[in-house]
Structure 1
Amino acid sequence: MRRLAALLLIFALPAPAEAAGPLVPMDNSGSTLDFSLRFARTKMPLEYAGRTNDATSRWFGFSLREKAGKRVTLGMYGGYAWLTQTNNPVTAGIELNGFHAGFSLHGVLLEGRRASLYGALDYGYQKVDHKNDARTVVIDWSHPQAQLGGILTLARNWRLYGGGSYGKIDGEERVSGSVNHTLAFERGAQSGGFAGLDLNVETDGYIGVELRSGLMRGGEIYFKRRF
């Protein structure tokens, strides 16, 4: 737990989010930490006063989770972020870049030999910007989310998982320079779903893919290892 606690303090200022794929099953080796690299791309409509802008967000980062008890796992993740928008004059033709970060809490509700049921609470943050001679654009948002999902072991090395989610986005756009304004935007509370498949490629290594809808529509690929 000391390793995770130190990293949580490092990321405490930027804020929290969600983690990659289902929890890695524990064995008798004493391993309690799982580390993932993740590549994600999602789309979402962001609702400003009087208009809606379609946004595309891309992430490259890592996820780190460690067991805090028999059925509870704490996690965090962070990394780079990129954002483009349509129907927004101040971001037309540009790609904003910055970071994302987050924390999560996972709990195993029911567990069997081939299937399990779990719940997760996440709170995430993303901040991106773009600067040129004419103006500076900064866009940031937070996105709390809850998930309820199940995991089914299909064969020795394959797991199928999926479930439902519920969350929202609250953010702000700030522009300074030739144009100056501050605008709030949101993505109202949305329910959705997610589904994924992962493969145990070696004793402690996994690769997986996940698709999701609802608050954000898109998917991710992750590479995971247990330590």
Structure 2
Amino acid sequence: MTEVSPTAASVHSTEFKLLQAYCTRRRRKSSKRRSAFNESPVTPLSVSPTSQIQTRQLNLVGSSGFRLVGQGGDPPDELGSVADKLTQIVDTVDLVPEIETDSNDDIIQRLVELLREAGDELDGKIKKNPELVEQLKGSFSYSLFEKVTKSFLECVVPSWTGSTQGTQKAQIAMTFEVTNRLTTLDVQPMNRIMGFGAQFLQQNFSGWVQKYGGWEKAFDEQDNDDEVQ
């Protein structure tokens, strides 16, 4: 049977809560950026589909029982601090790929290209391709999320294995970003996508985070590439 839901452990994890904090920050920044280009307040009739999706997401209470922070209270200080540092790292990463994805899977390649280029307009661009929308509605499993995320990371932050601490931080931060971008799609429940993101983080980066003393210590201001003894 095709897997369609994240594990229970992932939606009750620190990684899930961090994703909530991170997604809230990205949406706030995106909203401020759009507001800067508007000379007058946006009326309900002029709200873009993407804005409507983001508003729905900010108020969403999913089956996991978590509310996306932003209108339901701020996250604990340590999680908010880590989310801020992840945001800062993402803002320094060039999304122009150093290498192109070599995936033979057409849906993976198309998604990675859209995720890298589209930004706030991702949902609108996805909807211009009805065939891709139907594929995402019917087959968005953790396996698909994992393939998309790994292909995305290979494009924008190469050296998936044997990376330095700085590269590892960038890979983790971009995992948060690709999860955030996928949550803007109106084809799957937001909490499912964030659950997949939390599961991916646990499977690929939890060992590194624990080695450096947990999320807060791993993302402190120092960027020391020395191995922990």
Higher RCO (CA < 8 A, seq sep 6+): 2
TM bucket, shorter chain: under 0.3
Return the TM-score normalized by structure 2.
0.23
Return the TM-score normalized by structure 1.
0.23
Structure having the higher helix fraction is 2
Larger radius of gyration: 1
